[in-house]
Amino acid sequence: MAFEFLEPVHPELQNKIKNFSNQTLSNYVSFFDEDEDIQLNKFQLAIVCIKEERNSVYPRKSDFFYEEIRLSLYAMYVGNWQVDIIDLGDINRGDKVSDTAYVVKNILSSLYKKSILPIILGGSQDLTFSQYRAYDGIKYMINLATADHKFDIGNSELPMDSQSYVGKMIIDEPYNLFNFANLGYQTYLSPQEEIDLMEKLFFDALRLGTLKSDFTKAEPILRDTDLFSIDIHCVKSSEIADPNHENINGFSTFDLCKLCRYAGMSDKLSSFGVYELQSMQKSEGLISLIAQMLWYFVEGFSLRLNEHITEKSPNFIKYSVPIEDEILVFFKSEISNRWWIKIQNENNVYKPSLLACDKQDYIDATGSVIPDRWLKAKYKNTT
């Protein structure tokens, strides 16, 4: 299972963490030990850190600071959580990037098969490609979402790097990428041909300004997501003590924590990663940000309701809205107040029949405005 390539958390660090208050997250984490027979099946979440940055387009500013993040994360207090976490330690860089990618893919695949959700801290964001390919033979169609100021489609004819891995996903066989959603892109950083391709493939893209106006628009997208990848460079430069970080517009630290909480709460999401940590200048603020993002993700995970909705599910209210030559069918959960909209399946290829949406989509439909995500899903189902 490639677990022999893991470097467990150092015993001295483990001892420090185990001495934290039993009211902190340290009380919910176990540590992988290559000399012990640990039964992974009892865990829900697995933390794994990857020391690989060679395909990053950003200059390296720091050594990896995973130990400091662990100390900050596990010292945080928790509520009435019921989660079991295993910290698998670190994956060191291989002789070649492809060697690291092979190990990452195999370890994550083993976790997916056991229904253990990996929380990944990594170097270059192209590791998301291995995170995605680890689903091969396990899940047929994957919905990917990223929090990123760019689309990272790039030129798929060139060797893959941290800003072209999505393009590689689009063309690489087997074709398992059903949907790609970008949260927070900035138009002046995005080539027009990539924006056009997003439209042509009926992918979802929410500009930073759109999310700033209504941040809740991210929740339905993340509710439909299998894999969520964050480029830490999407954080606003004034939020981070790195004078060389140039992204003067971006997510606030609180925005990123909200995104992580939404992702954790998503019943569908089964893989989560935060990347490009080595390309930021190490600081106490950055360490706290990463730790708090992970804390919010775990909190969201602890709040999952496992609402596996079908048309005949109890505790759901059905609304039918005639519009043009369509009848849009919405479902509202009486438990969580979340909304879904029905998508007709018009071919034999697997497609989701219920798409996450929000109340505003229902309100817009009653005013004869067809939701944009519904239109994209419909066109995708008929092509």
Residue range 93-121: mean pLDDT, rounded: 97
Give per-residue pLDDT as tens, 111-168.
999 999 999 999 999 999 999 999 999 998 999 999 999 999 999 889 999 999 999 9
HSE toward the beta carbon, residue 190, CA cutoff 13 A: 23
- Whether the per-residue pLDDT at 352 is higher than 70: the answer is no
CB neighbourhood size of 312 (10 A): 7
- Whether the per-residue pLDDT at 79 is higher than 80: the answer is yes
pLDDT at 345: 67
The residue type found at 136 is: D
pLDDT at 189: 94
Give per-residue pLDDT as tens, 319-341.
999 988 889 999 999 999 999 99
Residue range 213-227: mean pLDDT, rounded: 96
- Which string of DSSP letters, residue by residue, matches 237-280? GGGSS-TT----S-B-HHHHHHHHHHHHH-SS--EEEEE-GGGS
Residue range 69-80: mean pLDDT, rounded: 95
Give per-residue pLDDT as tens, 238-255.
999 898 898 999 999 999
pTM: 0.95
- Percent of the chain beyond pLDDT 90? 83
Of 142, 137, 138, 139, the closest CA to residue 166 belongs to: 142
pLDDT at 1: 57
- Percent of the chain beyond pLDDT 70? 96
- Residue 322: phi and psi, rounded to 5, are -70, 130
Contact between residue 291 and residue 76 where contact means Cβ atoms under 8 Å apart: yes
- Whether the per-residue pLDDT at 350 is higher than 50: the answer is no
HSE toward the beta carbon, residue 79, CA cutoff 13 A: 8
Q: CA 259 → CA 70, 114, 274, 302, distances in Å?
A: 20, 25, 12, 15
User: What letter does residue 322 receive in the DSSP assignment?
Assistant: E
Q: Is the peptide bond before 174 cis (omega within 30 degrees of 0)?
A: yes
Which residues partner with 85 through β-bridges? 29, 45
Residue 112 CA to residue 262 CA, distance in Å, equals 20
**Which domains does the chain show, CATH number per domain?**
3-302 (3.40.800.10), 316-381 (no CATH)
